[in-house]
Structure 1
């Protein structure tokens, strides 16, 4: 099949998925370099999707612009499993991923950090991070095959995953209820679906961090995840690639995507926000910044 025919078929698919006009969909399709990639495999279990969404949300809030080797959320690969998903973690970030995900009460912060109710079992090289009150879980390994190191408590911290190995602490219950509370979030199903897909498609979202080895990700509230970058893919190119892999499947057409400008787009009614700066933010200092980030992980 010719490239032009592939582009036309992808354009029609994007138009059918979204409220974009055919001309806009065609412009995006020309940038995707693929007709249709393998669609992101979703879990059929809403509790599994909710856990994965929370994992992605916590990692985005935690890492911000401190990634290594282009792993935006510390994840190198994601492989769907029968009941969950296996995440291959960037080797140099793996221990920090565990620290950020496993729940702890931080007295200096005045609340819980991490994913409430997340507990751990398994071996040194393959850990299962599982929900204390459901079958939802993610399996994690280190990309180089090495051992994973569970976090120890820092000053002012109480490791809830260790202190309350079964069930949830009172503070965790409150935090978990806030995550599932629909106030301020238009569609919890869409939030869980799209943030779960962010976790399950590292090969796509890591494109933003590839040019410098790091990008920027953060959250405003429990209902969104923001990715910002400055070099490499344009916003439209990344949107086209995501749509080609079914990122907006099963999202209401009117809310699937909004192209705000050449430098910004919203997916899922502002669930995923993509922002690209118009020029490089770092210039010749990019390598020095990457090295500084690396030293921070080593300290």
Structure 2
């Protein structure tokens, strides 16, 4: 679906693990070929067969229920208020070089917009928020992946301003993501080396297929986020990553009612329920509200 090139995914440790898994896969192939001549011992049965694997029953989602990615990835950053003028000129350059492909959503760079942005340098933290409009990225790395960036600016504190670059995914690419979320996934054993004293041993671990699917989805989304960050960082002085992922949250849509911690979908996609507004590091969040008009918020939050 998408070549994953970012350094966070392609770390040295991950590459070494992939090579070791590949080596064990080749070793398994040839060892099973000679099984009739040289029977497997118990340790080899653990490593090369599924005899001792935990058989978890994979429940199927109900046909009338769905969980879908909602096309939007919010990439967040902050800037000091004393640098708002630098941001404005960077914003103008960004808009001129990346105009919206939709004539009706193009940003008009006039005095009214300039005043609206620069006023944030004097604003108190009173919940100020502005919709700056849409742009279409001119980038080969984002071609056929991101159709638009929807830009927002908001008050974060007395000294800082928040920026929200909402990446709106291409319709076809978003469809592929949602197809992937319900696709069949092959079991992928993971082999690990460990030592007891000076003696080396090898163990095999495996995950539920639904968890494997979720991890692969996260890898794809991380690649999109890193490409978006690298592109935006060409124009704006974004919050530095320091070998971590950008601060983002993803949007999903669903007709499931998340009212039980034992819900199968919650377990598959690692979502947690909180009765009050809470934020936790690297955790998916569902917020239940008492307000009848707005019963549920469904976010996937990633913090550095």
- TM-score computed with the length of structure 1 as normaliser: 0.24
* Structure richer in strand, relative to its length: 2
Which gives a bigger RCO, structure 1 or 2 (Cα 8 Å, sep 6+)? 1
- TM-score computed with the length of structure 2 as normaliser: 0.23
